[in-house]
Amino acid sequence: MNRIFGSSASKKPKPSLQDAIVSTDTRMASIEVKIKKLDGELARYKEQMSKLRNGPGKNAIQERALRTLRQKRMYESQLAQLTQQTFNMESAALATENLRNTMATVDAMKQANKELRKQYGKIDVDKIESIHYDMEDLLEQANEIQETLGRSYAVPDEIDEADLQAELDALELEEEEEGTSYLADLNKAPDFIDEPPMELTETETKEAVKTSA
């Protein structure tokens, strides 16, 4: 029986809001074409009446013009109604789309909130604080080790700068004295000479030079 008469499941789906908007736009376009056609007829009637005198012929054209004008007004009224309907449907479609987007956003936020709760549930704040304190202790120990390794051996903790300067001045004085005594020793005669050398006169010096030559 269902094959012959069909069933409720085989019915066409109801048109959506967007389908209704498209259908209304098509009807509006058709009415606009008719209005333009009537405008052309009214312009022709107007031209004919301007050329005729008052009489039965002119009255007949006026009657046609009035019918055409009433028809135009009817189409214009329908066009206005369809325009309002289209505006209402587009507003409803926009509201529906905004609501759909809002629901999608809410669903995404719920899912994100669920994931965050799941992830943060795995985190132990006390353990994080304990790790932080352990890191502080380790860094402090490392600093102490570096300070210990950086200490100088056999050097007093407090050194008087005045004592160091006095010691430096004493060293310089000793160097000066050693240099003077060394020069004095160069001018002394060797120990194996009993008598000091005699100084020769200028004449004796010349004779010694001649003899050696």
| Among the listed residues 34, 24, 35, 32, the one whose alpha carbon sits nearest the alpha carbon of residue 87 | 24
pLDDT above 80 for 133: yes
Q: Give 108's Cβ-side CA count (13 Å radius).
A: 6
CB 90 within 8 A of CB 20: no
Percent of the residues in the chain that have a pLDDT greater than 70, as a whole number: 72
Matching residue, tokens 């005699």 = 198
Q: What is the pLDDT of residues 185-202, one digit of tens each?
A: 555 555 555 555 555 555
The domains of the chain are located at 16-120
**Span of 6-15, 123-132, 136-145 with lowest mean pLDDT:** 6-15
Cα separation, 61 vs 45, whole angstroms: 6
- What pLDDT is recorded for position 201? 57
Cα separation, 90 vs 101, whole angstroms: 16
pTM for this model (two decimals): 0.45
Q: How many Cβ atoms sit within 10 Å of the Cβ of residue 13?
A: 6
Sequence-ordered list of residues with C-beta below 8 angstroms from that of 24, at least 6 positions apart, any chain: 82, 85, 86, 89
The confidence band for 65, taking pLDDT boundaries of 50, 70 and 90, is confident
